[in-house]
Amino acid sequence: MKERDSYRLGKVQVTITETDKPNKLNVECFDGEYHSEFTVSEYEFKNYRRLMNQRITQAYKNIDEEE
């Protein structure tokens, strides 16, 4: 799968790759310990990227608080 984008959100590395399905992207998140992965549409990635990044940041923050 071809990598579309890669960036960091604090300590979380986010990698966006294309999938076999048309107009779908795979979002992979890894902070060195925890890994999560989900699929978004091209439209969601383009128009709701800020919201997606806020939710990723909050999810990883919640993991740290639970420990």
User: pLDDT digits over 3-50, tens only?
Assistant: 999 999 999 999 999 999 999 999 999 999 999 999 999 999 999 999
Q: State the pTM of this model.
A: 0.88
Q: Which residues pair with 19 in a beta bridge?
A: none
The answer to whether 22 and 7 have CB atoms below 8 angstroms apart is: no
The Cα–Cα gap between 44 and 15 comes to: 15
The answer to whether 30 and 5 have CB atoms below 8 angstroms apart is: no
The answer for 45, left when phi > 0, alpha when psi is -120 to 50, beta otherwise, is alpha
